[in-house]
Amino acid sequence: MQAILNSFVLVFISEMGDKTQLLALVLTARFKKPWPIMAGILVATILNHALASYAGSYFMNYFRPETLKWILCLSFIGFGLWMLIPDKDEEVRENNKWGPFLTTTVAFFFAEMGDKTQLATVALAAQFAAPLAVTFGTTLAMLCADGLAVFLGHKFTDKISMKWVHRFASLLFIGFGIYIKLS
């Protein structure tokens, strides 16, 4: 349960204002079909984060516990610092022939490659050694955070300063990194 909760909280907060949340907003504005877009987000996230979770669990077998603790500590602190760097607004290429579901699935899968939420998923899986729980927590967080963009759109982003959300997420990641080292 701890793996699910920590994975959810870290990814949900870090997803606020992230490029994939902006991508969800753009796709919703283009297609105006929220449910196929949410289904595409679900499929892409499960595939991407399951791979990341299993990679994290795999890596934990090759490091001594103290070395792994330092790697995880520094990774989370690094993610926290990375949160302070705003994402570039990456434009989605026009490809309406695929429709909203397939366009969203492909765009989200590739947008998550090397993204901080994917790398955080690797680190969380290495820490908790529970790839299914981490994948569940991170996927649920992505659906909730990106669902806000899909269903509430500009109403949500106009009321909350993304600068402060990123700062809070940064503190959360750094705090989690310190907690890992001290535990």
Length of the chain: 183
Higher pLDDT, 50 or 179: 50
Question: In the prediction, which pLDDT does 90 show?
Answer: 47
CB 90 within 8 A of CB 145: no
pLDDT digit string, tens, across residues 72-92: 788 778 877 876 776 554 444
Does the structure show a pLDDT above 70 at 43? Answer: yes
The pLDDT of 23-41, averaged and rounded, is 89
How is the chain split into domains, by residue range?
2-182
Higher pLDDT, 33 or 80: 33
pLDDT digit string, tens, across residues 146-178: 999 899 875 655 566 667 766 776 787 788 778
Cα–Cα dist 166/168, whole Å? 5
Torsion angle of C-alpha atoms 139, 143, 144, 146, degrees rounded to 10: 130
| 150 closest CA partner among 47, 56, 48, 35 | 35
**Position 143: which residue type?**
L
Task: Band the pLDDT of 132: cuts 50, 70, 90.
Answer: very high
Higher pLDDT, 105 or 165: 105
Task: Band the pLDDT of 58: cuts 50, 70, 90.
Answer: confident
CB 176 within 8 A of CB 11: no
Q: What pTM did the predictor assign?
A: 0.74
Exposed e or buried b per residue across 30-51, where buried means at least 16 C-beta atoms within 10 angstroms of its C-beta: ebebbebbbebbbbbbbbbbbb
Question: In the prediction, which pLDDT does 154 show?
Answer: 59
